């Protein structure tokens, strides 16, 4: 068997179809919204990597700090022989886990980008010739069918990405993950924690304006993919802390009344002056809330690790009972 395999469960045109559906639904709603996954074209991914290096943006550093310190404990608790990573991207932080798992036989990265999977998979094989990589081109928010690999399996969902899902979406996602798990498998989940408002707002509205450029880049995606005529300069970047829901919202606020045409959808979208388009929700969590959401999905919280400043947490959960 080849040490590298790539399976596509998404149709080749699935991304384009999903973009059209999301734009039609979100820009036709009141208030207007778009899902954050459309940030991440090549330029958006570059900007996000820049964001992770900004002094204000703590989550990436905090999560890496936990992994560097706790990877041996995570490995011992899971006993994993297969590592499944949802939304793997470049798989950079995962290397800390891969290095700590002595019995690892297979790595299953899951991402919508086949090129990212190919690059990351081949790089890992060059470093670890004994490893089998079975990459899966799939959307983690849709039904997954994992390849047959040795158990126990550790499914990891890092980066606090679960916070980008609304509560009903999180419940659906966690329940779907539970159906993938055998009794000896586990889920490792990264969650950003509730903290003072000033720290949160700074992380999503940095002084250098990189996050603003990242937010506005979604308009460039619509222009390129759907023939739209948005002018990013017509919008201001806004970061808002919703204390009741305990999440950050990123928005684009129209600086004046503006209408954009989207020929691919035969659609014209009008914004009043000051009207906002929500582009991201980033929920922040508390341990009790994480435990409750896991339990509702049939998962039991077994371990909880935070960085030294209690900014971010990794939790290990297993099938309840």
Q: Lowest-confidence range among 13-17, 255-259, 269-273, 285-289?
A: 13-17
In this prediction, residue 129 has a pLDDT band, given cuts at 50, 70 and 90, of confident
Beta-bridge mates of residue 258: 271
Structure tokens at 59: 């989550």
Please state, in angstroms and rounded to a whole number, the distance separating the CA atoms of residues 294 and 320: 9
Residues 315, 290 contacting (CB under 8 angstroms)? yes
pLDDT at 264 over 70: yes
What's the whole-number average pLDDT of the chain? 93
**Closest Cα to residue 31, out of 281, 195, 277, 199?**
277
Mean per-residue pLDDT, 2-25: 87
Q: Which position has the higher pLDDT, 60 or 114?
A: 60
Residues 260, 235 contacting (CB under 8 angstroms)? no
Residues 252, 279 contacting (CB under 8 angstroms)? yes
Mean per-residue pLDDT, 250-265: 98
Kindly report, residue by residue over 158-214, the tens digit of the pLDDT: 999 999 999 999 999 999 999 999 999 999 999 999 999 999 999 999 999 999 999
Q: Report how far apart, in Å, the C-alpha atoms of 173 and of each of 41, 197, 258 are.
A: 23, 28, 36
Per-domain boundaries in the chain: 1-140+147-321
Query: Which position has the token pair 């409750």?
Result: 292
Q: Which CATH class is domain 1-140+147-321?
A: alpha beta
pLDDT of residue 182: 96
Mean per-residue pLDDT, 212-239: 97
pLDDT at 1 over 60: no
In this prediction, residue 112 has a pLDDT band, given cuts at 50, 70 and 90, of confident
Are β-strands 299-306 and 312-319 bridged in parallel, bridged antiparallel, or unpaired? Answer: antiparallel
Kindly report, residue by residue over 36-78, the tens digit of the pLDDT: 999 988 899 899 999 999 999 999 999 999 999 999 999 999 9
Element (H, E) at 153: strand 153-157
* Cβ neighbours, 10 Å, residue 198: 9
The pTM assigned to this predicted structure is: 0.94
pLDDT at 115 over 90: no
pLDDT of residue 199: 98
Kindly report, residue by residue over 15-26, the tens digit of the pLDDT: 899 999 999 999
Please state, in angstroms and rounded to a whole number, the distance separating the CA atoms of residues 203 and 311: 12
Please state, in angstroms and rounded to a whole number, the distance separating the CA atoms of residues 194 and 178: 25
Mean per-residue pLDDT, 117-145: 84
| Percent of the chain surpassing pLDDT 70 | 98
pLDDT of residue 90: 59
Kindly report, residue by residue over 142-156, the tens digit of the pLDDT: 878 899 999 999 999
In this prediction, residue 87 has a pLDDT band, given cuts at 50, 70 and 90, of confident
- 114's CB contacts (< 8 A; 6+ apart) are 6, 8, 135, 137
Q: Report how far apart, in Å, the C-alpha atoms of 24 and of each of 17, 27, 217, 220, 254 are.
A: 11, 6, 18, 16, 19
For the chain, the helix, strand and coil percentages under 3-state DSSP, each to the nearest 5: 40, 25, 35
Mean per-residue pLDDT, 99-106: 93
What 3-state DSSP class applies to 281?
A: strand
Mean per-residue pLDDT, 115-142: 84
pLDDT of residue 2: 65
Please state, in angstroms and rounded to a whole number, the distance separating the CA atoms of residues 238 and 201: 10
Are β-strands 186-192 and 312-319 bridged in parallel, bridged antiparallel, or unpaired? Answer: antiparallel
- Contacts of 116-125 with CB under 8 Å at 24 or more apart are 116/88, 116/89, 116/90, 117/6, 117/88, 118/6, 119/90, 120/88, 120/89, 120/90, 120/91, 121/4, 121/6, 122/4, 124/91, 124/95, 124/98, 125/3, 125/4
């Amino acid at each position: 068997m080849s040490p590298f395999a790539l399976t596509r469960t998404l149709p080749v045109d699935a991304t384009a179809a999903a973009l059209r559906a999301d734009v039609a639904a979100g820009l036709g709603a009141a208030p207007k919204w778009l899902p954050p996954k459309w940030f991440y074209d090549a330029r958006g991914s570059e900007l996000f990597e820049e964001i992770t290096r900004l002094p204000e943006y703590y989550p990436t550093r905090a999560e890496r700090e936990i992994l560097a310190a706790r990877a041996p404990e995570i490995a011992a608790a899971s006993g994993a022989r297969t590592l499944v990573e949802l939304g793997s991207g470049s798989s950079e932080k995962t290397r800390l886990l891969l290095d700590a798992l002595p019995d690892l036989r297979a790595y299953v990265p899951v991402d919508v980008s086949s090129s990212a999977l190919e690059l990351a998979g081949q790089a890992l094989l060059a470093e670890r010739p004994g490893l089998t990589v079975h990459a899966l081109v799939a959307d983690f928010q849709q039904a997954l069918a994992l390849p047959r690999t040795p158990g126990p399996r550790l499914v990891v969902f890092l980066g606090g990405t679960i916070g980008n899902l609304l509560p009903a979406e999180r419940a659906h996602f966690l329940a779907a993950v539970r159906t993938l798990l055998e009794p000896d498998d586990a889920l490792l989940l990264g969650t950003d924690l509730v903290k003072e408002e000033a720290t949160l707002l700074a992380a999503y509205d940095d002084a250098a304006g990189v996050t603003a450029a990242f937010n506005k880049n979604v308009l460039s995606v619509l222009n390129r993919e759907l023939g739209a005529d948005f002018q990013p300069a017509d919008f201001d970047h806004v970061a808002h802390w919703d204390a009741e829901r305990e999440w950050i919202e990123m928005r684009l606020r129209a600086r004046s009344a503006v209408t954009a045409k989207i020929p691919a959808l035969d659609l014209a979208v009008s914004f009043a002056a000051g009207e906002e388009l929500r582009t991201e929700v980033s929920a922040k969590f508390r341990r009790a809330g994480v435990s409750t959401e896991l339990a509702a999905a049939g998962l039991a919280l077994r371990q909880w690790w935070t960085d030294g400043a209690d900014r971010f947490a990794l939790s290990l959960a297993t099938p309840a009972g």
